C-alpha cells in the first residue's frame, strides 16, 4: 500500500497519509518501452476523486482523470459538455489523493483544437491548478503539430487514436475503428505522427486487434489499449466499469466485481434497520456518563 492512516480528531475519520514512496514520472513511463518491448505492461485506470485515487494509487502506474467523468460523475450523455473547470477540480483532487502514480488529465472538447496557442493556454491552466504531470488529447496527424508545440514548452502529452469519443458526432457512434483498409492505415499513421511529435504514450481505443498491434509495433513510445489488444504496452479501463457500477458497459470491459449490487444490498439493510428502529443502537449513540 502507498498509504498509512492517521486519525483526524476533528472528524473521527481515518485519513490515508503518504508512506514513503517516490512518485513515478513521465520519463519513467516513456522508458518502460525499450527497443519496441515493454517487459512489464503499464497499468492505468481512471480516477475522479481523492478517495478513489487513494485506493487505486499503489496498484497503478498512471491515473487518468478522464473526461469520462462527464458521464460517470455528472450523468451527461457524452464527454462533449465537459469543461476545463470540471477537469481542473477533479484532477486536483486526484493529485491530492495519490503519491505514486503519474496523474494525467484529459483536455476537454473545445479546449485545444482551435490553435496551438489555445492548447497551451488550456493545458497550462490544467497543470497549474491541479498539479497533474501531463495532459491527454484526442486526434492523430491533425494534432501532431500541437503535441510538438506543447512538448517543446514543457507540457508532456499523451495521445489518443482510434475511437475518439470527443469526435462521436463525426464518427456517428462508438463502433470499433480500423475495419476498412483506409481507416486502418490512418490509425497507424496517426500513432506514428504523435510518436514523432513527442507524445510520451498513446491510448489506442476501440480498434480491431491487428491494427492495434501494428500501431504498437510502429511507435517507440508505449501504447495503452482500451478495447484494443493485450499486446499493447499497457491497458486502461474506466474504474467504475470494471468494478461493475453500471449495468451496461462496452464489450471490451471485464467486470472484476459487482460493486453496484454490494452498495444496493448494503443500503437496503440500512433502510430496514432505520425503519425498524434498530439503528442507531447503543454503540452509535452518546449516553450520559
122 lies in some domain: yes
Q: What pLDDT shows up at residue 8? A: 64
pTM of the model: 0.91
Give the residue from 132, 81, 139 showing the smallest Cα distance to 110: 81
Residue with cell 462508438: 174
Dist CA 200 CA 194 (whole Å)? 9
pLDDT tens-digit series, residues 25-80: 999 999 999 999 999 999 999 999 999 999 999 999 999 999 999 999 999 999 99
205 lies in some domain: yes
Which DSSP helix (H) or strand (E) runs through 210? helix 209-218
What is the domain count for the chain? 1
289 lies in some domain: no
Dist CA 168 CA 170 (whole Å)? 5
Q: What pLDDT shows up at residue 202? A: 98
Q: What pLDDT shows up at residue 170? A: 63
68 is in an annotated binding site: yes
CA distances from 137 to 63, 66, 242 (A): 15, 10, 23
Residues with a catalytic annotation lie at 205
CATH number of the domain residue 99 falls in: 3.20.20.60
pLDDT tens-digit series, residues 161-199: 998 877 666 665 556 766 888 889 999 999 999 999 999
106 is in an annotated binding site: yes
Residue 95 has φ and ψ, to the nearest 5°, of -60, -45
130 lies in some domain: yes
Dist CA 241 CA 258 (whole Å)? 10
67 is in an annotated binding site: yes
Q: What pLDDT shows up at residue 224? A: 98
| Domain that includes residue 237, residue range | 3-284
Can you tell me whether residue 106 is helix, strand or coil? strand
Amino acid at each position: 500500500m502507498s498509504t498509512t492512516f492517521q486519525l483526524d480528531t476533528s472528524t473521527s475519520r481515518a485519513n490515508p497519509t503518504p508512506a514513503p514512496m517516490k512518485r513515478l514520472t513521465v520519463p519513467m513511463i516513456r522508458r518502460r518501452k525499450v527497443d519496441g518491448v515493454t517487459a512489464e505492461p503499464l497499468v492505468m485506470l481512471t480516477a475522479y476523486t481523492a478517495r478513489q485515487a487513494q485506493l487505486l494509487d499503489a496498484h497503478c502506474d498512471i491515473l487518468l482523470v478522464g473526461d469520462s467523468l462527464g458521464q460517470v460523475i455528472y450523468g451527461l450523455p457524452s464527454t462533449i459538455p465537459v469543461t476545463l473547470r470540471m477537469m481542473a477540480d477533479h484532477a486536483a483532487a486526484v493529485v491530492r489523493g495519490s503519491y505514486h502514480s503519474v496523474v494525467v488529465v484529459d483536455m476537454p472538447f473545445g479546449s485545444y483544437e482551435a490553435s496551438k496557442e489555445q492548447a497551451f493556454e488550456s493545458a497550462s491552466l490544467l497543470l497549474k491548478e491541479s498539479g497533474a504531470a501531463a495532459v491527454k488529447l484526442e486526434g492523430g496527424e491533425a494534432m501532431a503539430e500541437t503535441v510538438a508545440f506543447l512538448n517543446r514548452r514543457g507540457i508532456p502529452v499523451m495521445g489518443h487514436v482510434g475511437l475518439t469519443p470527443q469526435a462521436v458526432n463525426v464518427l456517428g457512434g462508438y463502433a470499433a475503428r480500423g475495419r476498412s483498409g483506409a481507416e486502418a492505415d490512418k490509425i497507424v499513421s496517426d500513432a506514428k505522427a504523435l510518436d514523432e511529435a513527442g507524445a510520451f504514450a498513446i491510448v489506442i481505443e476501440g480498434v480491431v486487434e491487428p491494427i492495434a498491434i501494428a500501431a504498437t509495433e510502429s511507435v517507440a513510445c508505449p501504447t495503452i489499449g482500451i478495447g484494443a489488444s493485450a499486446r499493447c504496452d499497457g491497458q486502461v479501463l474506466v474504474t467504475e466499469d470494471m468494478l461493475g457500477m453500471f449495468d451496461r458497459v462496452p464489450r471490451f470491459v471485464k467486470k472484476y466485481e459487482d460493486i453496484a449490487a454490494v452498495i444496493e444490498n448494503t443500503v437496503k439493510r440500512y433502510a430496514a434497520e432505520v425503519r425498524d428502529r434498530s439503528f442507531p443502537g447503543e454503540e452509535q449513540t452518546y449516553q450520559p456518563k
